[in-house]
Amino acid sequence: MAIDEARRHELHESARRMLGIESGDTLMEMLPPVGWADVATKRDIDGLAAATKRDFDGLAAATKRDLDGLAAATKRDLDGLAAATKRDLETTEIRLTSAINDAVRGSEHRILVWMFTTVLTAVLGGTAISVAVALSV
């Protein structure tokens, strides 16, 4: 038989009449607000605690597997980026070295042309002075 609120109130009034107001109220406060079938037992709580622990243990293991997978994927990605960066730096070094060598060779050529011109001018200028001195004597 289901206990509704009206029957519960009737019990409360009977308890107050038979035990007194204070004792009747105390008795009713000690009863669950619902039927006894709805009250959890220690065994129910222990079962829920064990199930909750299993759930958390499973989630912890799944989370660890996920994090380990992410760590491995991140390492692979970083290793790939490091290798690509190394190749890019080596290519840049080769290009830069080639450009510097070309610039130095061009500078050497200009310096040699300048030196040749300077020496030729000095020789020819010296010859011209010698001819001028010889002609004036």
pLDDT at residue 2, as a whole number: 65
* pLDDT tens figures, 83-131: 999 999 999 999 999 998 888 887 887 888 888 888 777 777 666 666 6
* pLDDT tens figures, 40-82: 889 999 999 999 999 999 999 999 999 999 999 999 999 999 9
Residue type at 80 in one-letter notation:
G
In degrees rounded to 5, what are phi and psi of residue 33? Answer: -70, -10
**Per-domain boundaries in the chain:** 1-39, 42-136
Residue, of 23 and 39, whose pLDDT is higher: 23
Q: Is the pLDDT of residue 1 over 60?
A: no
Q: Are 27 and 19 in contact (CB under 8 A)?
A: yes
- Distance (Å, whole) CA 34 – CA 3: 8
Match 């992410």 to its residue by tokens: 70
Q: Is the pLDDT of residue 36 over 70?
A: no
- Distance (Å, whole) CA 32 – CA 38: 9
Largest CA distance in the chain: 162
- Distance (Å, whole) CA 107 – CA 111: 6
Which helix (H) or strand (E) segment holds residue 34: the answer is none
